[in-house]
């Protein structure tokens, strides 16, 4: 069966911060890949806007270099690249001043979708929104896209929401959390709500606990200064991990529409119990030479966590008594993002004591090797009585759906959704604020107490304390291989 791809209207997409890292690494290569797939319609235009003085031709050369740097050589077909470069233009603009706005207003077309991607520091969101509005560049149908960090606490997030709300309605604002654009994250919705199998078991009566792991091998590298003011809680938990938690824990929305989905996610965040000391462990990688958090962060006294593990309670009818364990860290043993739902024991074993029961676990692998695996008990083949064994019903999407499966990057999907006007995979303002409202007191608490993160070896599975967090509940983390 050929998949139905929803067509995209003609558009003018303006990327503010077009020569920045995110635009070069993700946004422009992502747009190129959609262009190559024929998803970008004739007559669409991508307009780079940034502070530096550049001609259209110079901008095209810069983008061409970025494509070479960030895409596989096989993806770069010369005629396709040159067609893509032809739809690019550039405007030098001063986000806080007057330069460039008139020129931008002059080239924007009236009869196409207008989208503005703010790949710039959040401090500039308000200035840009204001100028887009005052110069008549944005109208009621325009869309504005913003990136994280969306604030560093509730107060700053509220200020950003207010700055945008002055000129744009909520249905025009697209707050990106790129985790929501990942293929398997959406598959989570399909697994839960397109199958009858799991949903009846998806509650505290049958689920023992849920684990969410996002482990990275990279350290903070060149982002030391940003990261040291942020830490794993703000950088990963407040957004990516909480979004995953919401998708796992939410009630079935009545349809797959933006507000139906976002209403249900919001209820999960609001149902979270405050986190108490003893329910989380913070860590910092401490190694030799440059492989050390303090060196990379350029702050010998830093108390910022590069790892955090926590035990959460969702206090509602469905989840009362089922803990959710979350962990994320940098410089860990391997790059693994997965969600594991561990089910409870059957109420009675007919096979006797000698057969050790192992839990049924549903694992949803986000990366690498996107897929799912379900651990079930079977009889070990052969004579000698009834011996049970747990095996994996393992499905790698690449194997199940064909080895040439080319899964789009999260950014590709999200940018196309902006053009289509579909906000389902974007965070609503109240969701972001609710997440900060939960996170803030936890951070305030450890800052007030002056908590020191626990050291862990670079390349390990995190600090000892994280293991203890599970052990004291008689559980263990899934292995990071
Ligand atoms: C970003 C964080 O939002 O997500 C980074 O700022 C992190 O610190 C990255 O490395 C992880 O994204 P992915 O898609 O590589 O898992």
**pTM reported for the whole predicted model:** 0.94
pLDDT tens across 177-205, in order? Answer: 999 999 888 889 999 999 999 999 999 99
197: closest CA among 326, 376, 357? 376
Q: Are 248 and 341 in contact (CB under 8 A)?
A: yes
Dihedral (CA of 173, 176, 177, 182) sign: positive
At 184 the pLDDT is: 86
Closest atom of ligand 1 to 218 CA is: 10
What gap in Å lies between CA 361 and CA 376, rounded to an integer?
Answer: 7
Task: Tell me which of 25, 30, 240 to substitute to probe ligand 1's pocket, judged by most ligand atoms within 8 Å of the beta carbon.
Answer: 240
Residues 6+ apart with CB under 8 A from 110: none
Task: Tell me: pLDDT of 1 over 50.
Answer: no
Atom 13 of ligand 1: nearest residue by CA position: 179
**Ligand 1 center to residue 223 CA distance, Å?**
12
Using DSSP, state whether 358 is helix, strand or coil: coil
What gap in Å lies between CA 397 and CA 454, rounded to an integer?
Answer: 37
Task: Tell me which of 178, 297, 368 to substitute to probe ligand 1's pocket, judged by most ligand atoms within 8 Å of the beta carbon.
Answer: 178
**Ligand 1 center to residue 252 CA distance, Å?**
28
Counting residues of the chain whose pLDDT is more than 90, the rounded percentage is 80
Helical segments of 47-100, H only: 56-70, 78-86
At 404 the pLDDT is: 64
Is 178 part of the annotated catalytic residue set?
no
The radius of gyration of the chain's CA atoms, rounded to the nearest angstrom, is 24
Average pLDDT over residues 433-445: 98
Residues 6+ apart with CB under 8 A from 241: 212, 214, 326, 328
pLDDT tens across 239-294, in order? Answer: 999 999 999 999 999 999 999 999 999 999 999 999 999 999 999 999 988 799 99
**Ligand 1 center to residue 147 CA distance, Å?**
12
How long is the chain? Answer: 481
3-state helix, strand, coil split of the chain in percent (to 5) is: 40, 20, 40
**Ligand 1 center to residue 125 CA distance, Å?**
21
Using DSSP, state whether 287 is helix, strand or coil: coil
What gap in Å lies between CA 183 and CA 54, rounded to an integer?
Answer: 36
Q: Are 49 and 23 in contact (CB under 8 A)?
A: no
Q: Is 235 in the pocket of ligand 1 (CB under 6 A)?
A: yes
Using DSSP, state whether 83 is helix, strand or coil: helix
- Considering the candidates 178, 209, 240, 313, report the single residue annotated as catalytic: 240
Q: Is 373 in the pocket of ligand 1 (CB under 6 A)?
A: no
pLDDT tens across 407-424, in order? Answer: 788 999 999 999 999 999
- The conformation of residue 258, written as its DSSP 8-state character, comes to H
Q: Are 14 and 49 in contact (CB under 8 A)?
A: yes
């Amino acid at each position: 069966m050929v998949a139905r791809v929803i067509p995209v209207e003609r558009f003018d997409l303006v990327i503010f911060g077009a020569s920045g890292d995110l635009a070069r690494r993700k946004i422009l290569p992502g747009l190129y890949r959609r262009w190559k797939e024929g998803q970008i319609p004739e007559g669409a235009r991508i307009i780079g806007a940034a502070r530096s003085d550049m001609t259209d031709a110079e901008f095209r050369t810069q983008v061409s270099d970025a494509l070479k740097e960030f895409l596989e050589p096989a993806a770069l077909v010369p005629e396709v690249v040159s067609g893509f470069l032809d739809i690019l233009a550039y405007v030098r603009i001063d986000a806080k001043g007057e330069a460039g706005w008139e020129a931008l207003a002059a080239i924007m077309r009236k009869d196409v979708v207008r989208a503005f991607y703010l790949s710039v520091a959040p401090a500039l969101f308000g200035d840009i929104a204001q100028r887009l509005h005052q110069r008549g560049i944005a109208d009621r149908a325009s869309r504005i896209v913003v990136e994280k960090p969306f604030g560093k606490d509730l107060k700053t997030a509220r200020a950003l929401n207010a700055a945008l709300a002055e000129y744009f309605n909520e249905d025009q604002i697209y707050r990106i959390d790129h985790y929501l654009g990942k293929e398997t994250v959406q598959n989570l919705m399909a697994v839960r709500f397109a199958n009858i199998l799991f949903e009846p078991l998806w509650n505290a009566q049958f689920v023992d606990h849920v684990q969410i792991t996002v482990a990275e091998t990279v350290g903070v590298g060149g982002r030391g200064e940003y990261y040291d003011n942020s830490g794993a809680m703000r950088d990963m938990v407040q957004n990516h991990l909480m979004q995953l938690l919401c998708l796992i824990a939410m009630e079935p929305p009545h349809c797959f529409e933006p507000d139906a989905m976002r209403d249900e996610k919001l209820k999960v965040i609001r149902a979270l119990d405050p986190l108490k000391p003893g329910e989380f462990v913070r860590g910092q990688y401490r190694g030799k030479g440059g492989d050390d958090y303090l060196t990379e962060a350029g702050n010998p006294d830093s108390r910022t966590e590069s790892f955090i593990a926590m035990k959460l309670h969702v206090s509602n009818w469905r989840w009362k008594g089922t803990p959710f364990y979350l962990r994320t860290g940098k410089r860990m043993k391997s790059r693994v993002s997965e969600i594991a739902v561990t089910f409870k024991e059957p109420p009675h074993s007919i096979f006797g004591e000698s057969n050790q029961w192992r839990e049924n676990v549903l694992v949803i692998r986000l990366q690498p090797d996107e897929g799912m695996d379900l651990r079930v008990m079977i009889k070990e083949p052969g004579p000698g009585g009834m011996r049970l064994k747990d095996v994996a019903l393992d499905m790698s999407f690449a194997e199940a759906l064909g080895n040439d499966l080319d899964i789009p990057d999260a950014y590709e999907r999200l940018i196309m959704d902006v053009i289509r006007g579909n906000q389902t995979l974007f965070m609503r303002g109240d969701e972001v604020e609710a997440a900060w409202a939960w996170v803030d007191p936890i951070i305030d608490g450890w800052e007030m107490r002056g908590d020191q993160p626990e050291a862990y070896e670079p390349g390990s599975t995190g600090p000892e304390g994280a293991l203890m967090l599970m052990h004291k509940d008689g559980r263990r983390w899934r292995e990071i291989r």
